[in-house]
Every structure is written in C-alpha cells, then in structure tokens.
Amino acid sequence: MRLHIFGRPYLLVAASPSTDSRGVDGACQPGIAAWLIASCSDPTAIRTLRTALTRLELGVDVRSLCDADVREHVVRALQSRRLRLVRLPLGVTGATYIGDDRRAAPDAAEQSEATRSPRSAPEPAESPWREPAPDAAPAAAPSSPSPPTCQLLTAAIADAQGRQASASGRLEVVPPEIGEAIDLTAVMEGGCGGHPEWTVRGVLTSTETGSSASFRSNHWRATKPGWLGDVLPQRYTVSVASCAGSQRFDIAAYPSNATSLSFHPQEWKTAKEKVEYVLENMLSAFIGGFRASASYLEGAGSIELGWKEHPADHRAYYGYSISLGFDPLLEISGTFQLGPAAMIPAWITEYGNACLFATLAGGISVMGGWGRTSPDEREESVTAEGYVDLKLGASLFLMNADVLEAEVSGSSGIFAEAEPAERERPSLDLSLSWRGLKGNMTITMGWGVVEYKRSFQIVEGGQLHDTPYVWEIPFLS
Amino acid sequence: MPVPVLYVLEIQCHGLATDISVNDISVTRARSGTGRTLQLKLTPWLTEGTSQIDAILRPVPTDPSLPPGAAPAFRLRVIRGVLGQEPGPDGELVRYVWDAEVEPLGPRGVRWSGTIPVTDEVGPWTWQSAPAGGPTDDDVAAILDLARTLHSAAERRDVETIVELHRVRNEEMGGALGVPGEQLAEEQAVALRGLMDTDGWEVAPLDLDALTLDPQAGGRIVAVHGPGDFPPVIGRSGERTIAFRFSASLVGGAWTIVR
C-alpha cells in the first residue's frame, strides 16, 4: 500500500527476516486498515488514523499523516506488527493512495514467510501481505486479516527503591557496586505468547519477554577525581513491544563516586597563593617586616560530594555539602616600619627620619557553606568578618628632641568582602581590600603646636589584588 | 645639656572618646571616635617616685568611616627610653588594653587607673607649687584676659608677645625635653614669623563666653578649652594651621601659661 506522508511517498511493507535490501517484501492490503486502527491505543491517534484511512480512496492524499505525532504513532504500531513504512524515492509519484500493491503471484517466498513465523499473532496465518509487485495489477482483497492477539495497555519501569520513570519515560539512577535492578512491568490485554518483549540497549543489550522482567544497570565510577556534577551519565533505552502498542524508556545511570574529605586551608592552593601574594607583594611593599607576624589560613574545611537518587521522583542529582571555616583567613599583629614603597612626605621627615610606623592588629575570618540536598534545593552562605586595624603612628624616640607630641589620626585597615560566586561549582568571590595609608598628623613642639592636623597620604586604598577574584574551592576543579 | 630619659605615653584607639590624665592633669583627650595613634612625652606632668595615670573611655556614635568589622578598641602604654633608639619590650612601664568583654562599655564609659614608676629625676614643676583650690572669679577673669592677650597678639602678628607669654612653659618644656628653653623660644619665634608674615595669616575669632576652664591637680593648673574642645586660639596661613592650647597656673600672683 502506498501512502503519501509529509509530502513523501511511502510503501507499507511487512518487516520479516526475508526483507531484502530495500526492505520491501510485501504490500499492505486494504483490509489492514482496520487492524491499523486497532493497533493505535491513543484515542486521538485512532480518530485521526481512522479518518485518514477511511479517506484512502483513489486520488485522495493522506494529509493527516503529515502530523509527526500521528506518523510516529503509526510507525510504532506498524513496527509492533512487524510492518514497516519504507520511504520511496522522490521520483516515485505515488503520492496518493493508489490501491493495494500486490505481487504478481503468491509464490514460495510467501510460503516461506509464513513458515518462518511460528507465531500466529504478528503475522496471521492468513497473512494479508504479499511481496511487492508495484507493476502488478491490484489483487483481490483477502477474506480478512487475523486480529492482533495482544495489546500493551501500560508499561512502567522502577528501580530497586521503587522510584518510577517520569511521564516522559526517564529514570535517573546511581547504581551501587552490585548494580541496580530495574524492574519492568507491562499490563497487557490479550496474549500472543511472545509479548510483551523488552529490549534493552545502551551499555548492555538484552531482550526479555514477559509482563514482569528486569535487568541490572551497571555500577560504574568516573576515573576523573574532583567535581563530577557535569559528568555524562551512561544511558540505556528500554523498549517494550506488543502486537498492538509499544513504549520506550530512557535510563541515565550516574557514577557512584563519593568523596568525603577534610582539608587544612593551607592545602587550599588558591587561597594560599592569593593570601601570600597580598602579604608579599602588596603589604610588604608599604609595611615592612611583618610577614613573620602574620598567621593565615587557619581552620578547617570539609567536602562531601556524590551523585544521589532523589527519593521523591525519577531524578538524580549531584549532592554536596561543603563547609569552610577560616579563622583567621589573615591575622596580623605588631608594629612595623613603613616599607620602601611608602611615600613619606618631606615635611614629616623634617621632624624625624623614619619615624613613622604602622601598627596592625586584628584578623579576618571567612566562613562558607554550600549544600545541595535535592535537585531543587541549594544553599549557599558566605560571610567575611573582622578587620585588621591599621594605624599609623610616629615614634617620639625617633623624632627631634623638641617634639613634645605626635598624633596621627585616621584609621585604616584591611577588610574582606565575600559572597558566593555565580558559578556552577561552589566557589566564592572574596576580595581583600585596605583603606589606604593616610592620616592627619598633629605635631606639637615643646613650645606649642606647629603642624595641626596636616593631612598626608602615603598610599591610596583599594583592593589588594586583581579583580575579579574568584576563590575556587580545592578538589572541585 | 644632658639628654633626659623619656617617658612616653602611647595611645592607640578608635571608636571611643578618651580622656587621659596624669597626676590629675588632663594630658590628652579626644571627643570623636576617629582612630588615632598618639605619642606624648609625659615628663612635664610627672613627679618623682610614682605618678598616677587615669584613662576614661566613653562611647561615641559609630564612626561611619570604619567598616563593620572594626570594633572600638583602646590600648595604652607608657614607655621609657632614650632619644634616638626605639625601646624594646623592657621599656614598657605600663600597659592597658581595654577588653570590651571584661569591661563592657556602658553609657558612662569605663575608667581605668594605673601607676607610673618614675625612677629618673624630673621637675619640680611650677604647677606643683601653685596654690590649690578652684579659680575665683578674679582668677577666671585673669585667665580669660590671658586668652584675650594671646589671641590679640596672634591677630597683631606680635611674635614677641606670644613668645613672652610662653616663657615659663618654654623653660620647663626645655628642661623636660632636654632642649634649652631659649632654643624653644627661638624656634617658636621663627615658626610663628614664618606663618604670620604671610598675606594669608588669619586668626579665628575668640569668643570668651565659649571658653571652658578646667581646673586640674586640685586647682593648681587650669586648662583652657575653646568651643567643641578645640584649642582656644587657632590661626592659619594657607593650608597650615597653628593652634594654641594652653594651661595656666598662678605663678607669682599672675596667671601664667605653664603647659
């Protein structure tokens, strides 16, 4: 039978082991229309197909089959009936139903086809099929096609925990080391003896028969360490076929790698490099000698990572629980001479050379937590607290004898600002800034004040590093 | 002149109003919470043997220039050493670090007292022998007149008068700092002329009614404050400002600038 589907000519043929390279060894007779209708379980498709097929008259297009969903449904129905739609070359002009194509004469091939099909259901003993004979004259209609003997009503798959596939047929699992059993269940009407037939393809291939079956999805582990949130799953497709109706499921199996570790912040390479950069290249240039007095990256961090099955539905998710507690991230205490990069105003040096000093006291702590406990729930919390107070002062022991008092007002300091970074992986935006070295100086001589709140600036404030500054958490990169 | 041993008060604080007294004489105070580091040679206020030091810390509105993590802090040290050499840890005679958890800062503030061991020869100072008791009305008038005289001299760019008004102070400060009093007087004159002999020299108006007299050390010395705790006499030339903050004692029957 030739059909015109989506603007292309098709030939409806039987799919049998003897199918030749063109896949054409039989043509549909008009009586198959009723069976085609019956093979569609979806009411809408049935109605559409019935309408389409009842209009299968000479010179009438089967326009309804241009609908992709209907076409797919028909194709599935045909496949379950071991029939196929074969697309003809474009040059074939049979764009309309032109009647039943029949082979010139039934021959041994038809007999052997019947012989090769021990089942009575898929290809009835009184098969409506004949080998293609496009040029042959239409044959007389057979008495009647054999009715299908089974119909798939519903099918379902579930993992060992009873989690079922979604409405669209997707199930995500995280197989343990022994693998995970996937139960296959079909509800049938009637019975043909060979259906339902389950076909599993993907990492493994198998075929099962029966209303209840199962297969085991393999356990696997990713060889790549670290963050596996973006790993591609292993995939399986499960198809269930019956004489009338079929269904397909997709299974995504994620690796079972589970990471649980704690680390010392000094192992946090990103943080260590950046804090040391700040200490050595920024602060030391202006404030010398305090490197040994600084403590940094004290505390602890812990990480738990792993794919998990969501108990409430078909999904799996990359769960994680990460906590960081740096107390301090940076702590400095002591009094230090200004470094070579500090531009000390000449009017100050008139009262004493190298008399200015900086006192740093305080610490900055950073706490962070990231968690994902379901596909839809993520938590992030990052806080930075504390302040390294920086004060400039002038030492009277290093100033001229006639100076009675020296006061430097204006507080400076180092502070941190932190927030979760907008990245797929947990990380944080953390910047260390200082408020610069500037002050107002009042110098009181023995006879009275001579410099009263005179302003000076040794270095502008700002961030102590380049921006943007994303601190990637160790083991996640 | 031998270089004297220095007794230096060091204060580091922010977020607090402070008032530090030695032997009941206020040596430095600040009303704002602006962070500051101060060093002050204490010798002119010390007495031989032991001297008392008091610190009063009071809350102030949060300094908006400080980040949230910067809590109020206060540290006080008294360091003994010699000029030209930064004293080591052994030079620290007194140390006080305010701990907000141990001494919560209530609305009335926190008061701390300590003792400074003075093992070197200091003084005696004029204020020690001045009569005790609060200033009488005549004393107040005399002190205000002293302020008016200083302000007038500054307005008139009368350097000689200003230097003379500071004669006792310069002598005693010179002794405390190891600098001849005459040198201080000369430096004062040079510095004042450098500022006053300019077209831009100007002096802030003096409002005698706004001055505050603060008797200290049993009334032996009276500190004079301008409005808002500013110095009573302030002059400026361009970007440079000079402030005359003074305390006076009754010396030989006349109120005289001694600190």
pLDDT digits (tens, 9 = 90+) for A133-180: 344 333 344 444 555 578 999 999 999 999 999 999 999 999 999 999
User: How close is the nearest chain A Cα to the Cα of B182, in Å?
Assistant: 10
Looking at the structure of chain A, the number of domains it has is 3
What pLDDT is recorded for position A432?
87
Look up the domain containing A56 and give its range: 2-139
User: How close is the nearest chain B Cα to the Cα of A379, in Å?
Assistant: 25
Rg of chain B on CA atoms, in Å? 19
A411 touches chain B (CB under 8 A): yes
What pLDDT is recorded for position A424?
79
Whether residue A429 sits in one domain with residue A381: yes
Across the interface, of A391, A409, A448, the residue whose CB is closest to B244 is A448
Q: Does residue A402 fall inside a structural domain?
A: yes
Ordered DSSP codes for A259-310: EEEEE-GGG-HHHHHHHHHIIIIIIHHHB-S-GGGEEE--EEEEEEEEEEE-
Where are chain B's structural domains?
A: 6-121, 127-257
Q: Does residue A351 fall inside a structural domain?
A: yes
User: How close is the nearest chain B Cα to the Cα of A269, in Å?
Assistant: 26
Residue B253 has which token pair? 């029957």
What is the share, in percent, of chain A residues with pLDDT greater than 90?
Answer: 32
Angstrom distance (rounded) from CA B184 to CA B171? 8
Position A47 confidence tier, pLDDT thresholds 50, 70, 90 = low
Angstrom distance (rounded) from CA A169 to CA A151? 19
Checking if the pLDDT of A129 tops 70, the result is: no
Position A450 confidence tier, pLDDT thresholds 50, 70, 90 = confident
- Structural element, H or E, at residue B154: helix B137-155
Whether residue A268 sits in one domain with residue A245: no
Is there a contact between A428 and A466 (Cβ–Cβ < 8 Å)?
Answer: no
Position B230 confidence tier, pLDDT thresholds 50, 70, 90 = confident
Across the interface, of B12, B185, B187, the residue whose CB is closest to A359 is B12
Checking if the pLDDT of A119 tops 70, the result is: no
Helix (H/G/I), strand (E/B), else coil: A95 = coil
ipTM: 0.91
Nearby residues of A424 by Cβ (< 8 Å), 6 or more positions away = A229, A230
User: How close is the nearest chain B Cα to the Cα of A339, in Å?
Assistant: 17
Which residues of chain B neighbour A412 with C-beta distances below 8 Å?
Answer: 35
A398 touches chain B (CB under 8 A): yes
Whether residue A223 sits in one domain with residue A156: yes
Q: Does residue A145 fall inside a structural domain?
A: no
Classify strands A316-337 and A299-309 as parallel, antiparallel or unpaired.
antiparallel
What pLDDT is recorded for position A104?
33
Return the higher-pLDDT residue of A72 and B155. Answer: B155
How far is C-alpha A407 from the chain's CA centre?
A: 61
Is there a contact between B230 and B241 (Cβ–Cβ < 8 Å)?
Answer: no
Packed helices A43-54 and A68-80: angle between N→C axes, nearest 10 degrees = 90
pLDDT digits (tens, 9 = 90+) for A251-277: 999 999 999 999 887 778 888 888 888
What pLDDT is recorded for position A165?
96
A406 touches chain B (CB under 8 A): yes
State which residue of chain A sits closest to B34, comparing Cα positions: A410
Whether residue A397 sits in one domain with residue A365: yes
Q: Does residue A464 fall inside a structural domain?
A: yes
Angstrom distance (rounded) from CA A290 to CA B122? 37
Whether residue A395 sits in one domain with residue A291: yes
Q: Which of residues 156-175 of A touch B (CB under 8 A)?
A: none
Checking if the pLDDT of A332 tops 60, the result is: yes
A263 touches chain B (CB under 8 A): no
What pLDDT is recorded for position A133?
37
Checking if the pLDDT of A323 tops 50, the result is: yes
Best residue of B12, B14, B20, B39 to probe chain A, by most A CBs closer than 10 Å = B39
Which residues of chain A neighbour B247 with C-beta distances below 8 Å?
Answer: none
What is the share, in percent, of chain B residues with pLDDT greater than 90?
Answer: 75
Return the higher-pLDDT residue of A434 and B226. Answer: B226
Helix (H/G/I), strand (E/B), else coil: B257 = strand
A453 touches chain B (CB under 8 A): yes
Q: Does residue A292 fall inside a structural domain?
A: yes
Position A11 confidence tier, pLDDT thresholds 50, 70, 90 = low
Whether residue A333 sits in one domain with residue A184: no
Whether residue A226 sits in one domain with residue A329: no
Which residues of chain B neighbour A453 with C-beta distances below 8 Å?
Answer: 241
Which residue, among A268, A442, A133, A404, has the nearest Cα to B9 in the 3D structure? A404
Rg of chain A on CA atoms, in Å? 40
- Classify domain B127-257 by CATH number: 3.10.450
Whether residue A349 sits in one domain with residue A217: no
Q: Is B68 exposed, middle or buried (0-12, 13-18, 19+ CB in 10 A)?
A: exposed
Angstrom distance (rounded) from CA B224 to CA A159? 89
Whether residue A413 sits in one domain with residue A352: yes
Residue A294 has which token pair? 């600084």
Checking if the pLDDT of A20 tops 60, the result is: no
A413 touches chain B (CB under 8 A): yes
Whether residue A300 sits in one domain with residue A411: yes
Checking if the pLDDT of B89 tops 70, the result is: yes
Across the interface, of B38, B67, B83, the residue whose CB is closest to A397 is B83
Q: Which of residues 322-341 of A touch B (CB under 8 A)?
A: none
Can the peptide bond before residue A468 be classed as cis, meaning omega within 30 degrees of 0?
yes
The mean of the pLDDT values for chain A is: 75
What's the rounded mean pLDDT across residues B88-107? 93
Classify strands A448-459 and A437-445 as parallel, antiparallel or unpaired.
antiparallel
Checking if the pLDDT of B62 tops 90, the result is: no
Checking if the pLDDT of A71 tops 90, the result is: no
Across the interface, of A386, A392, A411, the residue whose CB is closest to B66 is A411
What's the rounded mean pLDDT across residues B234-250? 89
A352 touches chain B (CB under 8 A): no
Position B157 confidence tier, pLDDT thresholds 50, 70, 90 = very high
What pLDDT is recorded for position A116?
34
Q: Which residues of A165-174 are buried (b: 16+ CB within 10 A; e: fewer)?
A: beeebebbbb
pLDDT digits (tens, 9 = 90+) for A341-394: 777 888 888 898 888 888 888 899 999 999 999 999 999 999 998 888 888 899
Angstrom distance (rounded) from CA A447 to CA B183? 10
Nearby residues of B58 by Cβ (< 8 Å), 6 or more positions away = B16, B17, B18, B19, B105, B108, B109
Angstrom distance (rounded) from CA B99 to CA A178? 61
What pLDDT is recorded for position A147?
53
Contact at CB, B191 and A450, closer than 8 angstroms:
yes
Strand partners, A69: none
Angstrom distance (rounded) from CA A304 to CA B60? 47
Of A110, A139, A168, the position where a domain reaches its end is A139
User: How close is the nearest chain A Cα to the Cα of B210, in Å?
Assistant: 21
Angstrom distance (rounded) from CA A150 to CA A39? 10
pLDDT digits (tens, 9 = 90+) for B166-180: 999 999 999 999 999
Whether residue A460 sits in one domain with residue A409: yes
Whether residue A339 sits in one domain with residue A354: yes
What pLDDT is recorded for position A23?
34
